């Protein structure tokens, strides 16, 4: 790679934890590695280690919270790229996207839309609350 060309060289392999971080599935590489070692990431249906190298065409199953992403690797990079470029590194399957959107809709419907308290509790209300909860003095 020459000094004049700032474009990274095309890569044929990259570690899975680096790719997950670069593709913006996780905020830090440490979180990506933790997810991989915790069994939240599978490559072609197999549980893998952080050092596993990815290739274009691999199918990843990534579990983040209640959501599961099933994506096919389209491109590789070792450096973190802007979100629009990161979206070009993979393609999510249609059924994965539909399942995630359905689950998100269900979660929105579950959440009560009620109001919280209109103001903070005063000193007397706080003391009552602490007595009930069991925190604080007396």
* pLDDT tens-place string over residues 14-25: 999 999 999 999
Does this model's pTM top 0.75? My answer is no
The neighbouring-strand residues paired with 124 are none
Q: pLDDT of 56-76, one tens digit each?
A: 999 999 999 899 999 999 999
Q: Which CATH number does the domain housing residue 46 bear?
A: 3.10.290.10
Residue at 125 is within a domain? no
Residue at 129 is within a domain? no
Residue 32 main-chain phi, psi, to 5 deg: -65, -45
Question: Are the beta carbons of 14 and 53 closer than 8 angstroms?
Answer: yes
Which parts of the chain sit beneath pLDDT 50?
A: 1-9
Residue at 122 is within a domain? no
Residue at 112 is within a domain? no
Number of domains in the chain: 1
Residue at 123 is within a domain? no
Residue at 68 is within a domain? yes
* Domain around 25: 14-106
Q: Where do the DSSP E strands lie in the chain?
A: 14-15, 41-43, 46-47, 53-54, 59-64, 67-73, 90-92
- By the 10 Å C-beta count (0-12 exposed, 13-18 middle, 19+ buried), 130 is classed as middle
The neighbouring-strand residues paired with 70 are 61
């Amino acid at each position: 790679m020459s000094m004049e060309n700032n474009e990274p060289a095309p890569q044929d392999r990259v570690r899975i934890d680096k790719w997950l971080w670069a593709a913006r599935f996780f905020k830090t590489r440490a979180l990506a590695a933790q997810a991989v070692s915790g069994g939240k990431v599978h490559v072609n249906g197999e549980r893998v280690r952080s050092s596993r190298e990815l290739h274009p065409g691999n199918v990843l199953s990534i579990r983040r919270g209640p959501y599961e992403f099933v994506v096919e690797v389209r491109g590789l990079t070792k450096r973190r790229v802007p979100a629009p470029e990161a979206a070009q590194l993979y393609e999510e399957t249609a059924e994965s996207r539909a399942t995630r959107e359905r689950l998100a809709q269900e979660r929105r419907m579950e959440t009560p839309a009620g109001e919280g308290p209109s103001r903070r509790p005063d000193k007397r209300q706080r003391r009552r609350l602490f007595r009930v909860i069991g925190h604080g003095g007396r």
